[in-house]
Structure formats: structure tokens, C-alpha cells
Chain A
């Protein structure tokens, strides 16, 4: 329910911004026609309902969105929804893989450094956390690109698939993986740092609690205590944090997609911003908000999975 209201609010904001911004659809169309006189402009405005009061235009816009119509892109000559659905899978693939990779590596590093507090991994985690926070993600991406696809040509420079690759499903899948490695590592680097630091802190806290002491006094092995008893409880703050990061992951994805020419929503957003293609930009903003909301719901769900106390509510 609340999620639906949030989406509605995104629509209202979208529409208001479009309304407030200088220039409207009529200007865009007339520009693409190479200029138009005042009469034609008025005609276009009447055709698109731009002469009606704000509220009825807004209602019209929301009504259209409910029918999966986010408007028409005059730049791409396509419906915005179609454009977005073409690019959305690539972004989702990047964003979700990066989140999963960041969570797995972050938790492994965090648990390891909580067990060996003064070991070099622990110091590395602290250092890496600072690096991940401070280095601009597009810069990290470019440095990786220079190192691992230009100087040492291990990975492809750009794109998501190589059309020249022949062969069956497996060959194409491996090709996709090769293309994914650098963008995923770049995007994950920010969040690995974040998650490992939090996981380390929460693991250290859990390891000091009473039930862990009980488990130890029962004579359980360290391994069993960590993975069977402590891990589940120290995961919930990490998952909560990961859920809050979805909007940051998408923001990072825009930059990473640009660096690696990944054919996703981020690249589309940038292209349509340069082309001043307002319906497409606002459609992307709407869909990315949708992704964040779904991401939050998934987070709530997985928290319940990890922590049974939450299931009662």
C-alpha cells in the first residue's frame, strides 16, 4: 500500500518537474521539425492537452502510467515503456550481480577479520573500506579498464555481448561473463567496503553475547559456532544496510554503465538527457524508483527469513 503511494508521489514529482522546467513538449517537437510558428505551437499544445489546467494534465498523466504508457520519445521515435524494457534487463543484471557479489565478499571478509582482529585481512578491510568510500567509482572503473583490458587484455573494453562470438548457449554465456567481470567488480567495490566493515562490527558484537559463550562452553567447534550460530544473527544489520543501498547501487550503475558502455538504463538516461528527451528521462526515474521499492520489499522479506522474530508482525 505504502509502496503504491510512494510510486504515485514519484509520478507527481516527475510531472511537476516537467511542468516547472523551461520548455515543453511542443518546443521539443517544433525543434525536431526545425522550428514552428506560434499558431502551430498552439495547435500542438492543444493536441497534447498542454493548454489544460495543471491538475487535469496531472490526472491524465497518472492515468496513462497506470495503462503502462509513459509517453512517447520523440528522440528515439518509440514508446518510452518499450525503450525502458529493452534496457532494463541489462541494468538489473549488473545491479543484482554486483549486490550479490558485494554481499558475499563483504560477509566473507567481515567474518574473517572479526575472527582475526589484528591480522592483515582485518587491516586490509579497514583500508579497503576507506578506499571504497573515497575513490570515485567511475575512476576506479577507468583504472581497472586501463589495467585489465588495455595494458593486459584479459577482459573486453566495452559492451555486454560480442556479436561475433559464435557457438551455443555456453559460449555466449561465457562471453557475457567475461564482459561482466570488470563492471561488476567496479560497482561492487563501493559496497564490499561498506558491508565488510558492518559485518565485522556486528560479528564482533554477536561473538560477545551470552548464547555464544554457552555454545563455546558446550564444546562446539569454532567453525560450528561461527557459521551455525553467530552468522545468522550478525547478518541482519548487513541485509538491512544492503536494502538501503539499492538507490545508491543504481546511482553507481549509471556511472559504471557509462564507463564500460554497458547497454542499460544508465546509458539510456545519459543519452536522453543529452538529447533533452524529457519523457524518457522521467520514465527512467520512475522505473528506477520502482526497482528501489521492489528491492526494499525483497530486503524485508529476506530479513524475515534470517530473523524469525520479525515474522510475527
Chain B
């Protein structure tokens, strides 16, 4: 079959120049690069990620070690960002914290997207009472103040990175569910879906291979934003002290140094800048993805 079809093509279109369509991903990439802020943000983000992976290996100072006199200002005695109230190296803390923040941010976002897409897809695809029930549940989760709710989860089930990730995922999915549902409601009425349904596609196939791929662009954009908000979330929790006591994270450095800001304001400034820059880059990348994946919107 494979052989004969290529022969057939050549017989039917003997000397037609076949213009190769550009791969949609290549298209999206060139749209993304046009957004300069997003491109720079992506590069900075790559830098932050590699700092998180390689940083702790190169810069071997233990962030829990008391290496020098407390409150050494930045630059003194070879400590680039100074030391905190216990004489711990801030730079080491930030580098080690990068891992934690990125890891929690990423896995919480994955979880958020997974729950949100599942619920939104089911609601938008099946409509009827399934939609009614699922959207009521979504509404219910939107009534609970997210931070308080996740504080309660972390408090009741213990402060480990796993609980924190689950707590963040469990409270942030409603936004994703709403977007997915809206996309499914729109796409399920389109002709190609009706055609696929008429030609006997199973529900499973309709959801996963007909509708979901076309619903992805806004979900991907939202996912990028979700990583940012999950990082902010983790920072907030660890600022409050609801964090794994065995790991350093950005928010935790700020939280533990808060009583000493009069003596050493840099101890809270630098970790804050780390959070700020990372989340800023993620939201700029989100903007860029939006331009790249919804080219129609761009033209308006």
C-alpha cells in the first residue's frame, strides 16, 4: 500500500512542484521570536534553570552551614550576596532554592493542568448533568481562599515538598478547568468534530485525538502562567514557614530573615528579586506563547 501510493501520486501530479507546508511548530516558533520581550525572558529563564541545575554543584557551599559572621553585607569576605542572621551564605541559599522553587512550580503546574484539563474536558464534552456537577465542584473550589486552603492542607498533612505540591495543585486547577471547558464547548460543535462523530469515532477518540489537540493553545499559555503562580504560591507558603524544614527555598529565606530587615535588608531583597524575575519571565513567555499559538489574535 505504501509503495503504490507514492507511485500513484507521481502519476497524478507528474510535474507539480510540491510546496512543502511549514511545520506548525516552526511557524509558532517564528511568531514567538518576533516578541522580543518573550525571547529575552526565555533566555533568562534558561539561565535560571541551568543555575538551578548546575549552580549547587559548582558553588558547593552548604546553604545550612554557618560559614561566616552573621549579617556580613554583600561582597564582604567573598560572599557575593552576604550572609544572613545565622551567618549562612545567601547566594548558596538562592542557588539551592532555585531547584526547589522550579521543581515545586513545575510539578504543581503539571498537576494543576492535569486535574483542570480532565475536569474541563469531561464537562465540555459530555454536557448535561456531568457538566452541571463538575462545574459546581469547580465553583466550590473557587470559593475557598486558595492560600488559606493550601495552608490547611499543608498543616494537616505535614510540610513535605509532596504535600506542598499537592496542596498547590489542589487549589489552582479551577482556572484551567474553565478554560478547557470553554474550548471544548466551542470545538465540539465544529464541523470536523461532527464529521468524526458521524464516521463512528468513539468518545475516547473524539476527546483525545479530535478535540484536545485543537484545544491545547490556550491551555499551554495558561500552563506557563500556572508555573509562575505556583512559584509565587510556594514562596508564600514557605514565607509563612509552611515548608519542608530540610530544604532551602526563596520564600523561606525571606520569611526567616524578616525579623532582621532593619540590620540587613539585602537578606530579603535578593531572594525576592529571584522570585520576581523568574515569575516575570514566565509571564512574558506566556505572552509570547499566546502570540505564537493564537496568530489570529495577534493581527487585531
Interface of A with B (CB < 8 Å)? 6, 9-10, 13, 17-18, 20-22, 130-131, 133-139, 142-143, 145-146, 150, 244, 247-248, 250-252, 254-255, 258-259, 266, 269-270, 273-274, 276, 278, 281-282, 284-285, 288-289, 292-293, 296
Contacts and interface: CB of A to CB of B under 8 A. Distances in A.
Interface string B248-264: 00010011001001100
A146 B261 CA distance: 7
B144 A247 contact: yes
A142 B152 contact: no
B152 A289 contact: no
Contacts of B236: 136-138, 251, 255
Contacts of B284: 130
A268 B86 CA distance: 28
11 contacts: A10-B143, A21-B156, A21-B157, A22-B158, A247-B142, A254-B145, A254-B151, A254-B240, A255-B147, A269-B148, A281-B155
Given A138-B236, A138-B239, A10 B156 contact: no
Interface residues of B, number: 41
A134 B228 contact: yes
A270 B261 contact: no
B279 A284 contact: no
A170 B151 CA distance: 38
B178 to A, nearest CB: 10
A284 B148 contact: yes
Contacts of B269: 143
Q: Nearest 3 pairs between A and B by C-beta?
A: A251-B147, A21-B156, A139-B272
Interface of B: 139-140, 142-149, 151-153, 155-158, 228, 232, 235-236, 239-242, 251, 254-255, 258, 261-262, 265, 268-269, 272, 275-276, 279-280, 283-284
Nearest to A18: B156
Contacts of A134: 228, 232, 276, 279-280, 283
B152 A285 contact: yes
Given A146-B261, A255-B236, A255-B240, A289 B143 contact: yes
Given A6-B140, A130-B283, A138-B254, A143 B272 contact: yes
A145 B258 CA distance: 11
Nearest to B241: A274
Interface of chain A: mostly helix, strand, loop or mixed: helix
A285 B280 contact: no
Interface of chain B: mostly helix, strand, loop or mixed: helix
Interface centre among A10, A247, A250, A269 (most CB of B within 10 A): A247
A136 B145 contact: no
A269 B145 CA distance: 12
Nearest to A275: B155
Contacts of A293: 143
Given A17-B156, A134-B283, A136-B235, A250 B148 contact: yes
A282 B149 CA distance: 9
A119 to B, nearest CB: 20
Nearest to B140: A9
A117 to B, nearest CB: 15
A254 B147 CA distance: 8
Nearest to B255: A138
Contacts of A138: 235-236, 239, 251, 254-255
Nearest to A254: B147
Contacts of B239: 136, 138, 255, 258
A142 B276 contact: no
Nearest to A281: B152
Contacts of B142: 244, 247
Contact of B276 (A13, A139, A289): A139
B142 to A, nearest CB: 6
